[in-house]
Amino acid sequence: MIYLDGNSLGRLPLAAQARLADAVTREWGDRLIRGWNEGWIDLPARVGGKIAGLIGAQPDEVLVADSTSVNLYKLALAALHAQHGRHTIITDDLNFPSDLYILQGICRQMGPDYRVQVVASPDGIHGPLAGLAQAIDDDTALVTLSHTTFKSSYTYDLTAVTHLAHQHGALVLWDFSHSAGALPIGLNAAGADLAVGCTYKYLNGGPGAPAFLYVRRDLQETLPNPIAGWMGQRRAFDFGLEYEPAPGLARFLSGTPSVLGLTAVECGVDLLLEAGLDRLRAKSVRQSEYLIGLWAARLEPLGFTLNSPRAAARRGSHISLGHPDGWRIAQAYIQEMHVLPDFRRPDNIRLGLTPLYTTFGEIDTAVARLRTVVEEKLYEKYSGEITAVT
């Protein structure tokens, strides 16, 4: 089996297997409630501090909590509250749908003056830089984008877009779900305000692992957490009846953290820190260029289009190939060729290159097998009906 879906669900790190077994048997099974004082309570900040090392932030600027969707809700709403008198959220149509739904919900909640403006990509592949420059103005409260977009893999220039938003007094909230662990990110260097991201993709934290959030240090005391729960309370265990936010980033915690989830995330993050993101990025670019070369020579003649940017600097670590029979081809690819990509409508076969474990040989074999599916028309017996999880 060739796994090209590490950008949707990363592989299981061997260390996580042993670590989780210990967390279940000894920590949960034996230590029980004492576990909270023996390390569990520190996990959100400790693992967040390690993730900070992957995204160019300070250790006290990153926490692990909740899901990406919930963190996006918390930070986007906090930003709107802080941006009194501004009513527009700017994003693009390459963004992940959950992000758009959350933003739409926030605007409904804030009232009829608030709106989300979705700027259209010129070609469905590249980010709409000119459109964003035109849309961002003095009514813009927040600009929020996927740093690397889930379908085409387009990667925004973090510094340039952050600067553009700041020129107009807008805050920026980046979603790093398809960037974290895939390429080096310089959050502090870009002066970015807010960020969220996923840990079960390139960070290999496991299915449904908790997400991370970043709040630049100087904003931490000024932004309110709209889900102000007891874990973000100044003295949670005083059980006081009035909320008083904890100092610093801790106020962005809401409820009890997922201890087993966090335990697995830490193993994945440790592995990436050990490998070094600069080295992983160098390999990822070489592998992506290699795959694009194979596409041009061996797949384009069979009707596949490159639905990702051609310039390596503007790409994350996955490549989308389009084909009119994409869905049926993906089914045959999985069932008969034992290659696992994923499929994104309308026609994208998305190939995730995860340099931690993807080899050049696997890329070569995966392309050969994709040719076989088309040349031998193996896909023709599959139905065009799309299943629930793709």
Ligand X SMILES: *Cc1c(COP(=O)(O)O)cnc(C)c1O
Q: Per-residue x/- marks for ligand X, 93-132, CB under 6 A?
A: ---x-xx---------------------------------
- Part of the chain binding ligand X (CB under 6 A), chosen from 12-20, 174-182, 258-266, 376-384: 174-182
- Part of the chain binding ligand X (CB under 6 A), chosen from 19-27, 57-65, 91-99, 272-280: 91-99
- Asked if 177 is part of the footprint of ligand X (rule: CB under 6 A), the reply reads yes
Provide the residue type at 92 as one letter.
Answer: D
CA dihedral 119, 125, 130, 131 (to 10 degrees): -10
Active-site residue, from 5, 66, 175, 193: 175
Active site residue 113: no
Among 47, 198, 253, 370, binds ligand X (CB under 6 A): 198
Pairing of strands 62-64, 305-306: unpaired
CB of 299 to ligand X, least distance (A): 25
Active site residue 66: no
CB of 152 to ligand X, least distance (A): 13
Contact set for ligand X, span 204-233 (CB under 6 A): 211
Q: What whole-number distance in Å separates Cα of residue 36 and Cα of residue 41?
A: 5
Name which of 198 and 334 has its Cβ closer to ligand X.
198
- Asked if 143 is part of the footprint of ligand X (rule: CB under 6 A), the reply reads no
- Asked if 68 is part of the footprint of ligand X (rule: CB under 6 A), the reply reads yes
Active site residue 379: no
- Asked if 317 is part of the footprint of ligand X (rule: CB under 6 A), the reply reads no
Q: What whole-number distance in Å separates Cα of residue 232 and Cα of residue 261?
A: 19
Which residues are within 8 A (CB) of 313 and not within 5 positions of it... i.e. 6 or more apart?
155
- Part of the chain binding ligand X (CB under 6 A), chosen from 67-75, 260-268, 335-343, 345-353: 67-75
Provide long-range contacts, Cβ within 8 A and 24+ apart, for 345-351: 345/386, 347/307, 347/322, 347/323, 348/151, 348/307, 348/320, 348/321, 348/322, 349/320, 349/321, 349/322, 349/323, 350/7, 350/151, 350/318, 350/319, 350/320, 351/4, 351/291, 351/318, 351/319, 351/320, 351/321
Which residues are within 8 A (CB) of 208 and not within 5 positions of it... i.e. 6 or more apart?
67, 200, 261
Active site residue 343: no
- Asked if 325 is part of the footprint of ligand X (rule: CB under 6 A), the reply reads no
β-sheet bridge partners, residue 143: 90, 172
Name which of 10 and 131 has its Cβ closer to ligand X.
10
Active site residue 175: yes
Rg (CA), the chain: 22
Among 67, 179, 287, 288, binds ligand X (CB under 6 A): 67
Q: What whole-number distance in Å separates Cα of residue 390 and Cα of residue 199?
A: 19
- Residues with a catalytic annotation lie at 96, 175, 200-201, 350
Residue ranges in contact with ligand X by CB under 6 A: 67-69, 96, 98-99, 146, 150, 175, 177-178, 198, 211
